[in-house]
């Protein structure tokens, strides 16, 4: 028999009969694709591999003459079951190859993503992770900034839950308010008590200076001027425990991430470690020469503190019972925040903001008069830096004072410098600043007075919390 060159054009007509003829051999084993994709050359001797597999069937079927087949059509077109099986097998193999290649590409992409994620985790554990976010940030529109009011007196501190859904704030009126971020509504209020009602009032009866929330949002801790630390159930705001032991105002609180270990700092110059699950005191650490003004920690078993007028920043290695001492500011260091496990930002009443590495005793970078100066000509004083915040594992930090502006800064590569990004108008004393975990917004706790005293009063300021959205440039916007 000979294969005719015109077979390509009438193949469609014969397909149903061929399918019927070879259905026992083909349908159960091969996936049929409608298009064959071109003219078939005559197969003189099929590949031995396929020949072995299908020889018995093909011999039987090739000897059977198809019924009702027109003799002209038989002359014009001929594809034996053997050839058809070979063609379909090739199509099937090509399809499998394509699927495998696609799968390999997908796997390579996934492997790349996993590798990137693992690399980030390693850098984060080493304290060297610095995601470049600052370059994409845009100043927010004034109309997008929300003010939440509820405290009668200046807000002194605030925290955001790790899921970015709730904010806790506290103030000089001794009250604590839990806010819903999305709606801006109050979820709970723990009212403050009058001085002298400590025995019967559940809550604080003195100015609250600091607060912390555990990373799983189970516990809220608050510290006040009366040397007390209160532990609350964060979900319901139910009072759980009262920790006593400090001999001065409690000025700093922080939960170690992923645990319920609580670190507290006080004006009595000591740091205490507590186990909240067990309602237990663990130990006390000494070293600062003046009142401790701020404290922060991440997931390592260590914390960082600022020692006010002893002008030192200290990193406490809890397990080793040792400390690292850093010097740099010229005034009282009033606030501190860790950027990652190895770098931190501090602010002082000399108006400067410093960027530190735990591997160097001096600041990596210092910005003097970060918020400008005030006062009569010749007697200018820098605006005190009352609060700092860091978007963790990134290159973005912020500072607050009482010059009616929150300043955002970009950390240079490897934290070698601080460059101003933009400022956001916020009237009053910015007593507390916190970035949300996602970096979608920044929250400022604002008052008419400084959180530690009544040296000045800005009457036009409003006591409340400002939620400042952080817009980002679209990465490579697609052209329509």
User: From CA 354, how far away is CA 363, in angstroms rounded?
Assistant: 6
Contacts of 225 (CB under 8 A, 6+ apart): 206, 207, 209, 249, 250
pLDDT tens per residue across span 59-96: 444 454 545 444 444 455 677 888 888 888 889 899 88
Q: Give the Cα-Cα-Cα angle 440, 444, 446 (nearest 5 degrees).
A: 160
Please write the tens of the pLDDT for every residue from 423-434: 999 988 899 999
Say whether pLDDT at 468 is over 50: yes
Q: Provide the pLDDT for residue 454.
A: 66
pLDDT at 432: 92
Q: Which residues contact 417 (CB under 8 A, 6 or more apart)?
A: 355, 364, 365, 411
Asked if 181 contacts 187 with a C-beta cutoff of 8 angstroms, the reply is no
| 261-266 β-sheet, strand order | 250-255, 261-266, 270-275, 280-286
pLDDT band at 476 (very low <50, low <70, confident <90, very high): low
pLDDT band for 403, please (50, 70, 90 cuts). Answer: confident
Summarize pLDDT for 233-281 with one digit per residue, the tens: 999 999 998 999 999 999 999 999 999 999 999 999 999 999 999 999 9
What's the topology of domain 146-469?
Methylamine Dehydrogenase; Chain H (2.130.10)
Tell me the sheet residues that pair with 242.
Answer: 230
pLDDT per residue as tens digits for the range 146-173? 999 988 888 999 999 999 999 999 998 8
């Amino acid at each position: 028999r000979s294969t005719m060159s015109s077979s390509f054009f009438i193949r469609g007509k014969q397909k149903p009969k061929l399918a019927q003829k070879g259905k026992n051999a083909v349908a159960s084993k091969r996936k049929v694709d409608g298009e064959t994709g071109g003219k078939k050359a005559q197969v003189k001797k099929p590949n031995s591999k396929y020949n072995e597999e299908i020889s018995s069937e093909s011999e039987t079927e090739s000897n059977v003459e198809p019924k009702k087949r027109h003799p002209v059509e038989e002359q014009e077109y001929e594809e034996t079951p053997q050839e058809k099986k070979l063609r379909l097998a090739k199509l099937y193999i090509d399809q499998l190859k394509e699927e495998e290649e696609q799968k390999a590409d997908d796997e390579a992409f996934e492997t790349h993503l996993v590798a990137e994620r693992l690399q980030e985790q390693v850098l984060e554990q080493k304290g060297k992770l610095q995601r470049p976010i600052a370059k994409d940030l845009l100043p927010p529109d004034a109309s997008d900034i929300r003010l939440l009011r509820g405290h009668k007196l200046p807000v002194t501190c605030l925290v955001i839950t790790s899921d970015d859904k709730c904010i806790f704030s506290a103030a000089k009126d001794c009250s604590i308010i839990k806010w819903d971020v999305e709606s801006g509504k109050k979820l709970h209020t723990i009212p403050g008590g009058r001085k002298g009602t400590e025995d019967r009032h559940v809550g604080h009866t003195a100015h609250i200076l600091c607060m912390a929330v555990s990373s799983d949002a189970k516990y809220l801790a608050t510290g006040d001027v009366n040397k007390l630390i209160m532990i609350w159930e964060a979900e319901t705001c139910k009072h759980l425990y009262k920790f006593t032991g400090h001999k001065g105002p409690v000025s700093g609180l922080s939960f170690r991430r992923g645990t319920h270990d609580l670190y507290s700092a006080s004006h009595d110059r000591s740091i205490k470690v507590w186990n909240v699950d067990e309602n237990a005191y663990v130990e006390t650490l000494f070293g600062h020469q003046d009142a401790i003004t701020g404290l922060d920690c991440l997931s390592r078993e260590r914390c960082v503190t600022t020692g006010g007028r002893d002008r030192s920043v200290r990193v406490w290695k809890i397990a080793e019972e040792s400390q690292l001492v850093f010097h740099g500011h010229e005034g009282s260091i009033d606030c501190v925040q860790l950027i990652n496990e190895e770098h931190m930002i501090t602010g002082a009443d000399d108006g400067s903001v410093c960027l530190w590495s735990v591997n160097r005793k001096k600041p990596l970078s210092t910005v003097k008069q970060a918020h400008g100066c005030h006062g009569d000509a010749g007697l200018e004083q820098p605006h005190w830096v009352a609060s700092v915040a860091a978007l963790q594992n990134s290159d973005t930090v912020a500072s607050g004072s009482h010059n009616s502006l929150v300043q955002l800064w970009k950390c240079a590569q490897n934290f070698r410098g601080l460059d101003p990004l933009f400022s956001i108008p916020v009237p009053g004393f910015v007593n507390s600043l916190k970035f949300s975990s996602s970096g979608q917004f920044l929250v400022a706790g604002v008052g008419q007075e400084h959180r530690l005293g009544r040296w000045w009063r800005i009457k036009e300021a409003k006591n409340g919390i400002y939620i400042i959205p952080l817009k980002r440039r679209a990465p490579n916007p697609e052209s329509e």
